[in-house]
Structures are given as C-alpha cells and as structure tokens.
Chains A and B, each alone.
Chain A
C-alpha cells in the first residue's frame, strides 16, 4: 500500500543553520503531498502542500518540491529559528485520507 518514509530524528541544529528533512513516498497514482508541523502542546498544522509533480509548496520560509522521478518531497529551510523546534510530518493523500510518515523531531538551539 501507499506509504511515507521520513528521515529519523531527532535533528538538532544551531540557529540560522540550513535544514533538510528527507521524505520519500510510495504511491499508486498521483497523490498530493503535504508537510504538517506539530509544535509542543499543539495540534497538527498544515505547513505546506503540493498537488502535482514539480509543484513547489512554500510557507514561513520552508519549501518542498514534488519530485515524481525520485518520489520525494524533501523539506528545506535556509535559516532555522528556535521557534521552528517541532515535529514535522510528511504525508500523502490516498483515496479520501492522509497517510503520514513517522515524523521527524527538530530541535533548534540558540
């Protein structure tokens, strides 16, 4: 079945460092792809999305490009802040629902 695989965490970075969180997927058809973020004590929030190949989703300085040829949707940010510390989930649509990866915890130190 369809699935999402993320790089394992935790990822620890210093403020202003470059961030990449890898995400690859297995899917039949052409799913939409998402990154959700979960800040401590809060619910999941949509960070960005891409609905077709070569689309780039972006929000709050984060970007991810839908790469059909490599079945990837890696999350990047040029300069992370302490406030970006959270758990990040990659997800795809399967039928009427979202399928999530296992999450990657990001910790940003001042």
Chain B
C-alpha cells in the first residue's frame, strides 16, 4: 500500500496522559499536513511541514500539541496532558510540491478518545 499511513488507528487514553501519533506520507511527497476532525465538522488545520521545516502552526493549537518531521519523512504528533476536549479524529495528509493545486492525499486517521 503506497498511500498515507497513520498509526495507531485508535487510541484510548486517560486524561492527563501523553499520546503520540505517527504518519507516514507517500514517499515522494514533500508536504505533510495534520488536521483534527470532530463529529459533524470538517477537518480543522493544525500544522504543516515542507520537508523537515514546520511552516505553519494554527493559532488555535494549544502548546500541549507538538509535531515533528525529522529528516522530512514520517511525522509525529504529540499531545501532552490530554484533556477530554482533545477527543477527535486526527488526520494526516501529504502532497507533492509547494502549491495546493496538486492533490492532497489523506490517511484514514487516528481516533483519539480521552476518558
């Protein structure tokens, strides 16, 4: 399978714990995006990378959230001290090139439940 891969697919955690998600983009894609989606809403932008550089981070994003993309390949999204409001589907996408006229390919997401 050469699509965008996200792991784990599901994560249940207790409030206050830290969680980390991984995204493996399509191998030749230099752009990688993280989005969050709650029930009945569209994906909400969190951050994106071009190669290993984090180019933009949403102002809505708490400083409990951090993302990395070492070596410009896979990416991780970490949430520290999780809260119940963090429960959502976390989506990763990748694209080729610097312009979004090219297609962004999405993974199937990681569903986080904070109890």
B44 partner residues in chain A, CB cutoff 8 A: 100
Establish whether residues A96 and B31, one from each chain, have CB atoms under 8 Å apart when the complex forms.
Answer: yes
- Compute the total of residue contacts between A and B using a CB distance below 8 Å: 58
Establish whether residues A98 and B107, one from each chain, have CB atoms under 8 Å apart when the complex forms.
Answer: no
The complex places the Cα of A11 from the Cα of B103 at a distance, in Å, of 27
The complex places the Cα of A95 from the Cα of B99 at a distance, in Å, of 9
Question: A-contacting residues of B (Cβ < 8 Å)?
Answer: 3-4, 31, 33, 35, 40-45, 48, 50, 55-56, 91, 93, 98, 100-101, 103-109
Establish whether residues B100 and A43, one from each chain, have CB atoms under 8 Å apart when the complex forms.
Answer: no
A32 partner residues in chain B, CB cutoff 8 A: 100-101
Pairs across A and B, CB under 8 Å, 19 listed: A36-B106, A43-B108, A44-B93, A44-B106, A45-B106, A51-B101, A95-B56, A96-B31, A96-B48, A96-B50, A96-B56, A97-B45, A97-B100, A98-B100, A98-B104, A100-B44, A101-B42, A103-B40, A103-B42
Chain A interface, number of residues (Cβ within 8 angstroms) = 22
Pick from A42, A49, A95, A100: contact of B43, CB under 8 Å: A100
> Main SS of the interface on chain A?
strand
A58 partner residues in chain B, CB cutoff 8 A: none
Q: Contacts A43-B91, A49-B101 hold; do A102 and B42 have CB atoms under 8 A apart?
A: yes
Q: How far is the CB of A17 from chain B (nearest CB, A)?
A: 24
Q: Is A53 an interface residue (CB 8 A)?
A: no
Q: How far is the CB of B94 from chain A (nearest CB, A)?
A: 12
Establish whether residues B50 and A43, one from each chain, have CB atoms under 8 Å apart when the complex forms.
Answer: no
Q: How far is the CB of A35 from chain B (nearest CB, A)?
A: 12
B4, B42, B98: residue with the most chain A Cβ atoms closer than 10 Å: B42
Pick from A42, A45, A93: contact of B100, CB under 8 Å: A93
